[in-house]
Amino acid sequence: MGGAGGRIRVVKGDITTLAVDAIVNAANESLLGGGGVDGAIHRAAGPGLLAECRGLYGCETGSAKATAGYRLPARWVFHAVGPVWAGGGRGEPGLLASCYRSCLALARDAGARSVAFPAISTGVYGYPIEAAAGIAVREVQGFLGTFPVPETVVFCCFSDRDREIYETLLEKTDAP
Ligand code: AR6
């Protein structure tokens, strides 16, 4: 679905199956695994991923660190730590935006041409999906408008409802 000159797509499915250069993980500060998309990525990538993560010594909320993809189709995993939703008054929007920018900068610096994002913070961490998707779309469009790499970004949604929210946002922000 359109956006930033056709460089943004929305899909519904399991991010671990996507044949993109990099997938983003919605991790926690320990970077040592968990549930949700984090659990799925570690299961699909195999034990090499956890071993590499142990050497990263965690990651601050609002930032991201890169590893290899191991058994995943993706060459890299960018482990982003989104904020826990606490009502919106504790800097959550800025921290979430910073996650997206950090991952996009990792993609640019690694030369990752395609990157897929899950809806960071909107599961266990409780960030309302409409607000989180708005931040995701704004940050990705801003970055793609500034840098040629990554060439394409995929928003990988886990439900039809989430997919519709992203598609509606992208239709609204599409250039006429
Ligand atoms: N592919 C794509 N999206 C997925 C998948 C998948 N395989 N599985 C879940 N989602 P969450 P968070 C969606 O809870 O809110 C972990 O324990 C899910 O439906 O995975 O950032 C970490 O270790 C939701 O839309 O991440 C942290 O402790 C989105 O991914 C904590 O959860 C994010 O949900 C992070 O919480």
Q: Of 120, 111, 14, whose CA–CA distance to 72 is shortest? A: 14
- For 90-100, give one letter per residue: b (16+ CB within 10 A) or e: eebbebbbbbb
108-163 pLDDT per residue, tens: 999 999 999 999 999 999 999 999 999 999 999 999 999 999 999 999 999 999 99
Among 41, 158, 165, name the best residue to mutate to test ligand 1's pocket (greatest count of ligand atoms within 8 A of Cβ): 158
Q: How confident is the model at residue 173 (pLDDT cuts 50, 70, 90)?
A: confident
Asked, for residue 3, whether it belongs to a domain, the answer is no
Count structural domains, the chain: 1
Q: Which of 96, 103, 86, 80 is nearest to 29 (CA)?
A: 80
Q: Would 2 be classed as within a structural domain?
A: no
38 in catalytic set: yes
Helices (H) and strands (E) in the chain, counts: 5, 6
Structure tokens at 148: 């040629």
- pLDDT tens-digit readout, 25-46: 999 999 999 999 999 999 999 9
Pocket test for ligand 1, best of 11, 37, 38, 72 (most atoms within 8 A of CB): 37
Domain contains 25: yes
Judge whether 87 and 76 are in contact, CB under 8 Å: no
Q: Is the dihedral of CA 88, 91, 96, 101 positive or negative?
A: positive
Q: Does 142 map to a domain? A: yes
Q: Which domain holds residue 147?
A: 8-174
